[in-house]
Each structure stands twice: as structure tokens, then as C-alpha cells.
A and B are shown apart, each in its own frame.
Chain A
Amino acid sequence: MQQCPPSPRRLRTLCRLMLPGLLVLLPALAAARAPESLALWPLPLSVEVSPRQLLLAPNNFFISHGPNSTAGPSCAILQEAFRRYYEFIFGFNKQHYGPTRTPTGTELQQLLVTVVLDSECDAFPGISSDESYSLLVKEPVAMLKANRVWGALRGLETFSQLIYQDSYGTFTISESTIIDSPRFPHRGILIDTSRHYLPVKVILETLDAMSFNKFNVLHWHVVDDPSFPYQSIVFPELSNKGSYSLSHVYTPNDVRKVIEYARLRGIRVLPEFDSPGHTLSWGKGQNDLLTPCYSAEQPSGDFGPINPTVNTTYSFLYKFFQEISKVFPDQFIHLGGDEVEFHCWASNPKIQNFMKQKGFGTDYKKLQSFYIQKLMDIIAAVNKKSIVWQEVFDGSAKLQPGTVVEVWKAEKYPEELTKVTEGGYPVILAAPWYLDLISYGQDWKRYYQVEPLNFYGSQEQKKLVIGGEACLWGEYVDATNLTPRLWPRASAVGERLWSHGDVRGLEDAYNRLMRHRCRMVRRGIAAQPLFTGYCNYEESI
């Protein structure tokens, strides 16, 4: 229990809590007394809650720009967010509340949002976006301050989580002071739209739920072996031939919609175009891109990874990634590079020749490195930075400084973190957070208890861990089960990546997460239950 129960009868003195290391634990109290009250998720860095409660009247409360804010009504990010959060706070009940005034002195009438520095209203969020904010809730006007709009968005979410309905249905908030900023700058969710196509509606809903959990990266694993749903402008045959059907595609308009919807929520869209393996679906629309496999000196008719030995491959990749670099505004592109099967390369006489010519012997890792380096040069040429799966680092390709390595193999991942950071590369952790690997019971606890910095290494090495991702691979997931499978399990990862490393208590997490899940349900997200029990507003699902 890092926050105080907002019960005025119980505590007369200001309950001053938080700041890591100085935690005052009040288990059971908050949970037992206030089932619908404070359930901050992820827990902010510092929370002070006073016993003094303020009431909010839907017809006499509004969110607006502070007088000194660098953002104003022309800032779409905030205008849209004000409207969204008003809806989340007062929800479906607002029409039931007439203009009845509450006694003055106990009412919160306004939230003023002030952006201090250049607002970045019209920009895209990036890896170094400032998401910090401070929130002062005091009668009659609450103040939310942030350096940039990104922090304002996070603060609005927190503000909405502070408000609850008491047993009479009155919207209530405790006077409080919150100072908050994320522990890691990269907090991602991976979705896989190749193994199963996900309708745009489902992706947008996921972005909403991500913002409720302060995630800020949608890692979009767009294409893979089974299907190629990305509709390329330059190479339309890729999806014409490689998608499941012509209705299972993302048009340029769909992609723009996703990117803008994400931007409005302070979420980056990180596209992954995995190669040279995991590319079967590319081959259908792009002749001669994949390696023909041989069986007994004859082409077998099967295809392997991208053919790294021909120039046409690289001219294709250059044009393709030129398009990708324009369509996706993020500074990074995920290049994949995982699980490259060598047997098809090894079977092909032309590739064998090439290997000989290059002096690679039979070390196909060298061929893989050759390919990846040419690809990373292309990415640099289109002014983007690369993220790769850990094999690329393991395969000892010379990575450009600043290339981000994503660690996904569960076995001995702390050792891998040590190695990658020893090499001086920034790293993203996904290994312990493969949410598609379901099991019976409360597996969220396992995700929650992961400590990303729990590996052998110097302070400088630890600083290279820029964050993590919860991955929901698509073998067994589509629109029918994505939302309940992702939430609230991914929320556990959300708090691990946002909150201070000392926030680890499972019982407290359970009590908050249970209520956070009910809040998501109330907002229309079909988040599944943690355990036996109920929510007050289950009907919205």
C-alpha cells in the first residue's frame, strides 16, 4: 500500500508516503476500506494523499489549458485528451447528474494543464520524449504540469485514476501531490499481424488500453512467414500475393490512422520488417527475393531466407525501406534478424559458391552478418536507426554504435543482458514477457516480479537497458481473444517498466491491479479477471 486510503474519518493527519526506500506500508487498510477508491496503476514515483476529499460535479468540472501553458486550444493532442479523460472520469453516468452544486470549499472545479517547455504538440513521440509530470490536486483548481505534452498525457491518466465514485455515486478525489516520471523510456507491446490478421479496430483498442497502462511503444510485427498484410505503395504485389486475402491488408490509410491514433496517446509505432528469415510471405509477391532450396542438386520448389548473394535483393530492400522510413515516422525500424535457418542456404550451389568466393568457409553466420550489415547500411542511408533481435548481436555482426538489441530468449537472459551491454549496445528486454505463452492461474505475478536490471554489470551497463516489451505473438491469438489475453497481464509489465524498482509488493499490486482491471472493463476494454470476484460495472463488456 503505497497510497493512503482516502477515508477522512480514519486518518486525521496528512498521510505522507512514498519515495522509494521510505515506504510506509499499510496493507489491508486501503483494500478493506475502499474497494472502489484509489488504484493507481502503474504506481507513480511519489504520491502524497491528504485525507481531505473533494467532490466533482460533471456539470461543473472541466479540464483546460493553464494560462502560462505553451500549449493551447490548437494542440490537438491535449484537446482530444481532455475530451477523452472527461469521458473516462464521468463515463456513462454524467447525464444522471443535474446542476446541483456542492458546498463550496469541498469541490474541485477545474484541472489546469500547463506545458512548460516547447509543447511538441505537433511532433511524434520518440525514445527521448520527456514523460515526466507533476500533479497538485487542491480545491478548487488542480494543476497538472509537464515539460511536454507527453508528460501531460501521462498525468491526465493518473488524474483520472485518482477519481472514484463513493457508495452514493458521487465523484470524489483526495487532495494529493504526485510527482512522476518513467523508470525506462521504452515500454512496449508487441502485436503480430502476420500469423493472424488483426482488424484496425482491435489495434486502436489496444492503443487505448496501452495508454491506460502508460505504455509508449507499439511494436508492430507487421509481416512474417504466414502473411504479408502491409500494403506497400512501391511494391503492391507483396500484399496482393502475400496477404491472407485482399480484405486482410493494412492500406496506407490504415497505417496512417494507427500512427496518428498512437501519437495522440503519446505512443510510438515501431514497425518490424523481419528479415532475412521469417520472410516466406514476401516471396509470393517479389520474385527471386528468397533463396531457392535445393534437394539432390535440383531446386526443390521450396524457399528459404532472403537471398543475400544477389544485388537485386539489396536494390529491392533499399526501395522498400525507403518507403517504410517515410510511412513510419519513428526514428527506429525493427529489422528482426531472428531464427535464420541455414540449411536452405547450405543446399543452394550458388550460395555455396558465394561463400567460397567471400572466404566464409561453411560459417553461415558470416553470410547472415554480411546480409545484416548491408541492410543496416541501407537503414542508415534512409536516416533511421536499427533495432534487431538478439541473434544479430550473438552472430557477431558488426553493429553500428547505437543499434538497439532486443533480448527475447528466455534461457539465461540475464547473461545475454550482460553481454550486450558489455558490448556497449542499448538493450530492450522481452524474454520473460512472452504473454502468448499462457498457463493456468495468476501468471501476471511472474511477469511482475521480473527485475530487468538484475544482471551482472556496471552502472553504465545498467543504463543501457532502455526498457522492455510484452510480446503477444499470434500463433493462437486473433481479434477473438487478444484483449482478454493481453490485459491485465501486460499491465504487470507496464508497472515494472514505469514504476520505481522498489515497487514490488505482490499483495499491494494485486489489490491495485484488480481495481485497475475493473477500471479498464468500465472503459470498455475486455480485460480478463485476475481471480474470483466481480466489478461494479461489468455490463459495459
Chain B
Amino acid sequence: MAGSTLWFSLLLAAATAGPATALWPWPQYIQTSDQRYAVLPKNFDFRYHAGSAAKPGCSVLDQAFQRYRHLLFHSASDSPTGRTEKQYAAEKNTLTIFVATPGCHQLPSLESVENYTLTINDEQCFLLSETVWGALRGLETFSQLIWRSADGTFFINKTDIVDFPRFPHRGLLLDTSRHYLPLSSILDTLDVMAYNKFNVFHWHLVDDPSFPYDSVTFPELARKGSYNPVTHIYTVQDVKEVVEYARLRGIRVVPEFDTPGHTLSWGLGVPGLLTPCYSGSKPSGTFGPVNPILNSTYEFMTTFFLEISSVFPDFYLHLGGDEVDFSCWKSNPDVQAFMKKKGFGEDFKQLESLYIQMLLNIVSAYGKGYVVWQEVFDNKVKVQPDTIIHVWREEAPVNYLKELELITQAGFRALLSAPWYLNRITYGPDWKEFYMVEPLAFDGSPEQKALVIGGEACMWGEYVDSTNLVPRLWPRAGAVAERLWSNSRVTDLEFALTRLTNFRCELLRRGVQAQPLNVGYCEQEFEQA
């Protein structure tokens, strides 16, 4: 437990010394000292080490250098002139980056290695990482280490950091069906995700209220199913922009096309896809989940997911599968007849199971992996062993920790979201509750715990659109980000509050409309130019 004593001493140091108190999420190992080096914006440079596998021309890092130069020094021009010419005995004007393995043009994946080490001392100012993704994380940490003195001079302290994520899947869900989010909101969110070391954008694209995804194969889906077929859609080009913007920040884009429930908006553009509900012996005119008894349904899904599989490059698709309402299926005589023929009796879970299995077969034929909401597991749908089960229910049928236990016991990988529904707001500092969640606090073997690959903060869209998304998301989602990145022992709330308060001010400085955690102020407030 040498690590533990080291960490505690550092905790104390960081809580008292100014500089490192804006670090978020907290690195796995860090040692800082009061010895500081001046950083002169004019002379500062990011440089690839001669032996680095990533070299000039590496899009991911070239662009990251530009971004971080801007983030760090864009306000440098307002520093008092004359001061900048001052010579400091110790200056650090180059961060040298060494990436061990090539891969600048690939996409990040669940398996991507994000480790890095950052060394700032008399001899070096050095960032070492296995991959470009690790280098991105290290650059963010580096940017958080630089601070500005009262006279406007930038400094960085002597620091040693060895860092890596606790969980490989650290996600944020946005819901663009209940309210449309302009592309700029999504891109801005990806920026702030990168500041928080999130690495998965779970894009809940479509749902009952609207279908904003402009499918190339089925243009009627968005034409009929979106709120507005011109202004409230995402074209394939938009998706490409999101995917590339995310890639440059080491973020995966996992799209969700939730079926068979939550699909009302699909029905407008694809007649016959949804189950007609009956009232007595007549169709009532309303529709239920996707109709699982027709071949045409599966033909549609085969074609549709062929498109999705190529438009979204991530290995994983989220297939939803939550909250399937059986009442409409029950009301429909054709569905009833099908149930009888299949010998399902009154057990509509078996019908759901049949649908999901057909769908999973379609998607796996395209070489994709998939994530499903927990009901698929709860309803005992037979799924392939590599399926990822996403836990979202807090208490029913069982507490979410118990659910994790059951899922991992069955040998499946699990993702946790249940305690992190950020759309559910309450008065006061609710980030503390998100922060104090311990995802592995369930009974299970080390092998079981290893099956929890991470979690996601969810911002469902009933009451959220571009008017309130940003302040509702940040810095609350930051609590989840640290829980998923940092060591499980990093749980001190006071220490977290100090850093998160400073980090929130840093977000404001970077132009992010992050709301306050408590009474107080930032040097630079939002809307105060």
C-alpha cells in the first residue's frame, strides 16, 4: 500500500498549495512540489520527440497542440507588457511528446490504451504515452497544471504524474429525440467531455417523439418523423463531422437506435413497421412497439442497420431494448395468433426475446458488437456472451449493485448508469451523490468486477434542450468523470469540492457555461466580457 500513503500525502499537499488544485479528474499517481518554472506563451511549443511513433502530420496530436495552445494562452495578450520580457531562471518552453505506438488515423476503441506519464523537472518537460489517446489525456492534464500568477505570468510546478483510467468506458448520453440539439451543442459537449477525460459519446439519436437521423436508405424516416425535416435533422455529413470531431478528442461515438419500444417516430416514415394496437376487435389507430411477427420488419432492420453499421464506425451499437410495453402486442389478434403458433402462451417476454435475438443476429452479421439496456438481460433474452448490459434502473427489479452482481455472475460485461441520471435535478449540491457512487461495491469475484467496463452519465431530454443543456451538464457530469477515471480511493468530498470549484472556473475561462457548485465567484464570470 505504498501508493496509498503517497496519495494521502499528496492529497494534503494539493489541498493546501494553489497550483494543482484545479486537476480534474485526479491522476492515479502524482507528486508535485513548490518548485516552479515559468512558461512564456511567446516561446512555448509542443514538440514530438525524435523517436516518437507519432510525428508531425499526426492529425490527432497536431490539432490537439493547436487547441491546447489556444486554451492555455488565448488570454495571454492581456498580460501586462514588459513583464513578459522578464527572464526567469527556470523556464519550461517545450513539452516534448513521445508516443510509443503508431496510429494517428485510427479511431479510439474500448481497448484503446489511455495511459500516460508526465514529467516536469529540471531536466525534462516530457509526456510519454503508449498511444495518441494517452497523449491526449496527458495534454489535458498538462493544461490543468499550468497556472497564472497575479502579474499574469504562467507557471508550471515540478510534477511527476503516472496516470491511467480506472474504467475503459466513460460515457455521456445525450438525447436528441425529445429535444433536438443543434450540431454546435453536440460539438461543444465533446470539447468539455475531453476536458473531463470522458471517452464515449452515447448518442441516443431517436426515440418516440422524433426521428432526427436523416437516413440515406430510408429518407422518409426523418422526413416524416423529425420535428422539422430541414432544421431538426442530422444528415450523414453531420454524423461524420461529429465522429471526426470526437475522434480528434479520443472520444468514441456509440449511437443508440432503441427498439422494439420507444419507436413511435419510426412508424411515421415506415408504414407497417409498428404494431397496430386494437381496442376491442378494431384497430384503435394508435401504434405500439415494432411489429415482431412480420418478415418485413426484419427486412427493414437488415437494410437499416447495414447503413448504420457503416455510418457509425465504432465497433459497438447500442440497440436499446428498454421499457417494452406489452399491452399493444396483447391487444393485436395477429400477434396473439403468432404467440399461439410459437407456443409462447401469454409470455410476451418470449416474443420480445425472439425480436431481440433476430435483431442481434442481423447486427452481428455486420461485424458489430452491441450494448443493450438491462431489460434484455432481466427478461432472459438469449444474447451472445460478448453482449454489454447497460444498467439504468436504480431499484427495480433489484438494486443496481445487485443487478451488476447478477449480470457479471452470468458472465456478461456491464455498464452502469442507474445512479447517474443527470436530467433528474434536485436542489443543492447533488454532484456529491453522483461522486460517492462506488460502481464495484457489490458482492462478486475479482473476475466479476473486471466485467464492469465503466459507466455513463445520462442527460435525458424531456426537460433539456440547448437553452439549459450546458449548465445542467457541467460540472455535475464531472463528478461521474472522476469516479470513472480516478482511483477508487479518491473519495474525499472536501478535496473534490476544492478542485471541482476551481475546475469549474477553468471551464468558464474556456467559455463553457458551467453552473456554480456553491456560493462564490470566478475571476472571469460567464457573460462578463
User: Using a CB–CB distance below 8 Å, which chain A residues touch chain B?
Assistant: 195-197, 199, 201-202, 226-227, 244-245, 247-248, 436-441, 474-481, 483-485, 521, 526-534, 536, 538-539, 541
Q: Is the CB of A440 within 8 A of B515?
A: no
Q: Is the CB of B527 within 8 A of A202?
A: yes
Of B426, B429, B525, chain A has the most CB atoms within 10 Å of the CB of: B525
Q: Given A531-B463, A532-B462, A534-B227, does the pair A196, B425 have CB atoms closer than 8 Å?
A: no
Q: Is the CB of A538 within 8 A of B526?
A: no
B428 interface residue per 8 A CB criterion:
yes
- Size category of the B interface is 35 or more
> Can you sample 10 A-B contacts with CB below 8 Å?
A195-B519, A438-B426, A438-B427, A440-B423, A478-B516, A478-B525, A481-B468, A483-B467, A528-B465, A536-B231
Identify the closest chain A residue to B527 (Cβ). Answer: A479
What's the least CB distance linking B122 to chain A, in Å?
A: 35
Known: A196-B521, A533-B179, A534-B232. 17 other contacts (CB 8 A): A244-B520, A245-B523, A439-B425, A440-B424, A441-B463, A476-B429, A477-B516, A479-B528, A480-B470, A481-B468, A481-B515, A485-B468, A521-B467, A529-B464, A530-B463, A534-B228, A536-B228
Residue of B232, B429, B461, B526 near A478 (CB, 8 A) is B526
Interface of B is mostly: loop
What's the least CB distance linking A98 to chain B, in Å?
A: 23
Collect the chain B residues with CB atoms within 8 Å of residue A244's CB: 520-521
Collect the chain A residues with CB atoms within 8 Å of residue B180's CB: 534, 538
Collect the chain A residues with CB atoms within 8 Å of residue B227's CB: 533-534
Identify the closest chain B residue to A243 (Cβ). Answer: B521
Q: Given A196-B519, A533-B209, does the pair A539, B462 have CB atoms closer than 8 Å?
A: no
Collect the chain B residues with CB atoms within 8 Å of residue A226's CB: 519-520
What's the least CB distance linking B141 to chain A, in Å?
A: 25
Q: Is the CB of A247 within 8 A of B427?
A: no
Q: Is the CB of B519 within 8 A of A529?
A: no
Give complex CA distance A238, B426 in Å: 35
Q: Is the CB of B526 within 8 A of A480?
A: yes
Q: Is the CB of B521 within 8 A of A197?
A: yes
Give complex CA distance A436, B515 in Å: 13
B272 interface residue per 8 A CB criterion:
no
Q: Is the CB of B513 within 8 A of A480?
A: yes
Collect the chain B residues with CB atoms within 8 Å of residue A485's CB: 468
Residue of B465, B471, B518, B525 near A481 (CB, 8 A) is B471
Identify the closest chain A residue to B460 (Cβ). Answer: A532
User: Using a CB–CB distance below 8 Å, which chain B residues touch chain A?
Assistant: 178-180, 182, 209-210, 227-228, 231-232, 423-429, 461-468, 470-472, 508, 513-521, 523, 525-528
Q: Is the CB of B425 within 8 A of A438?
A: yes
The 4 closest A-B pairs by CB, nearest first: A481-B471, A484-B468, A244-B521, A199-B528
Give complex CA distance A531, B527 in Å: 27
Q: Is the CB of A538 within 8 A of B519?
A: no
Q: Is the CB of B515 within 8 A of A478?
A: yes
Collect the chain A residues with CB atoms within 8 Å of residue B425's CB: 438-440
Residue of B427, B517, B527 near A199 (CB, 8 A) is B527
Give complex CA distance A235, B276 in Å: 74
What's the least CB distance linking A470 to chain B, in Å?
A: 16
Identify the closest chain B residue to A483 (Cβ). Answer: B467
Q: Is the CB of B231 within 8 A of A484?
A: no
Collect the chain A residues with CB atoms within 8 Å of residue B468's CB: 481, 484-485, 526, 528-529
Collect the chain A residues with CB atoms within 8 Å of residue B466's CB: 538, 541
Identify the closest chain A residue to B227 (Cβ). Answer: A534
Collect the chain B residues with CB atoms within 8 Å of residue A474's CB: 519
Q: Is the CB of A531 within 8 A of B518?
A: no
Collect the chain B residues with CB atoms within 8 Å of residue A531's CB: 462-463
Collect the chain B residues with CB atoms within 8 Å of residue A483's CB: 467
Give complex CA distance A436, B526 in Å: 19
Q: Is the CB of A439 within 8 A of B518?
A: no
Collect the chain A residues with CB atoms within 8 Å of residue B523's CB: 245, 247
Give complex CA distance A532, B209 in Å: 7
Interface of A is mostly: loop
Q: Is the CB of A526 within 8 A of B521?
A: no
What's the least CB distance linking A229 to chain B, in Å?
A: 10
Collect the chain B residues with CB atoms within 8 Å of residue A480's CB: 470-471, 508, 513-516, 526
Give complex CA distance A247, B472 in Å: 26
Q: Is the CB of A484 within 8 A of B527?
A: no
Collect the chain B residues with CB atoms within 8 Å of residue A199's CB: 525-528
Give complex CA distance A196, B471 in Å: 15
Q: Is the CB of B179 within 8 A of A529?
A: yes
Give complex CA distance A320, B365 in Å: 78
Q: Is the CB of B178 within 8 A of A532?
A: yes
Collect the chain B residues with CB atoms within 8 Å of residue A539's CB: 182, 231
Collect the chain B residues with CB atoms within 8 Å of residue A437's CB: 427
Give complex CA distance A350, B463 in Å: 55
What's the least CB distance linking B244 to chain A, in Å?
A: 23
Q: Is the CB of A476 within 8 A of B428?
A: yes
What's the least CB distance linking B505 to chain A, in Å?
A: 11
Collect the chain A residues with CB atoms within 8 Å of residue B231's CB: 536, 538-539
Collect the chain B residues with CB atoms within 8 Å of residue A197's CB: 521, 525
Of A437, A474, A475, A539, chain B has the most CB atoms within 10 Å of the CB of: A475
Give complex CA distance A480, B511 in Å: 10
Give complex CA distance A486, B227 in Å: 26
Q: Given A245-B523, A534-B179, does the pair A476, B465 have CB atoms closer than 8 Å?
A: no
Q: Is the CB of B515 within 8 A of A476?
A: yes
What's the least CB distance linking B245 to chain A, in Å?
A: 20
Identify the closest chain B residue to A202 (Cβ). Answer: B527
Give complex CA distance A86, B199 in Å: 47
Of B428, B429, B468, chain A has the most CB atoms within 10 Å of the CB of: B468
What's the least CB distance linking A536 to chain B, in Å?
A: 7
Give complex CA distance A526, B513 in Å: 13
Collect the chain A residues with CB atoms within 8 Å of residue B429's CB: 476
Give complex CA distance A484, B466 in Å: 10
Of B182, B231, B429, B465, chain A has the most CB atoms within 10 Å of the CB of: B465
Give complex CA distance A476, B180 in Å: 27
Residue of B467, B472, B516, B527 near A527 (CB, 8 A) is B467
Collect the chain A residues with CB atoms within 8 Å of residue B471's CB: 480-481, 484
Q: Is the CB of B461 within 8 A of A532?
A: yes
Identify the closest chain B residue to A195 (Cβ). Answer: B519
Identify the closest chain A residue to B504 (Cβ). Answer: A480
Identify the closest chain A residue to B423 (Cβ). Answer: A440
Collect the chain A residues with CB atoms within 8 Å of residue B526's CB: 199, 478-480
Identify the closest chain A residue to B185 (Cβ). Answer: A541
Q: Given A436-B427, A534-B228, does the pair A476, B461 have CB atoms closer than 8 Å?
A: no
Q: Is the CB of A439 within 8 A of B182?
A: no
Collect the chain B residues with CB atoms within 8 Å of residue A521's CB: 467
What's the least CB distance linking B515 to chain A, in Å?
A: 4
Of A440, A478, A481, chain B has the most CB atoms within 10 Å of the CB of: A478
Give complex CA distance A541, B185 in Å: 11
What's the least CB distance linking B255 to chain A, in Å?
A: 20
Give complex CA distance A199, B180 in Å: 30
Collect the chain A residues with CB atoms within 8 Å of residue B423's CB: 440
Q: Given A226-B519, A534-B232, does the pair A541, B467 have CB atoms closer than 8 Å?
A: yes
Of A202, A436, A438, A533, chain B has the most CB atoms within 10 Å of the CB of: A533
Q: Is the CB of B182 within 8 A of A538?
A: yes
Identify the closest chain A residue to B426 (Cβ). Answer: A439
What's the least CB distance linking B238 to chain A, in Å?
A: 15
Residue of A440, A477, A529 near B426 (CB, 8 A) is A440
Give complex CA distance A536, B230 in Å: 11
Give complex CA distance A527, B466 in Å: 10
Q: Is the CB of A528 within 8 A of B462?
A: no
Q: Given A476-B515, A533-B209, A541-B467, does the pair A245, B521 have CB atoms closer than 8 Å?
A: yes
Q: Is the CB of B467 within 8 A of A196?
A: no
Give complex CA distance A440, B527 in Å: 27
Of B427, B518, B519, chain A has the most CB atoms within 10 Å of the CB of: B519
Collect the chain A residues with CB atoms within 8 Å of residue B427's CB: 436-439, 476
Give complex CA distance A216, B228 in Å: 37
What's the least CB distance linking B78 to chain A, in Å?
A: 13
What's the least CB distance linking B419 to chain A, in Å?
A: 15
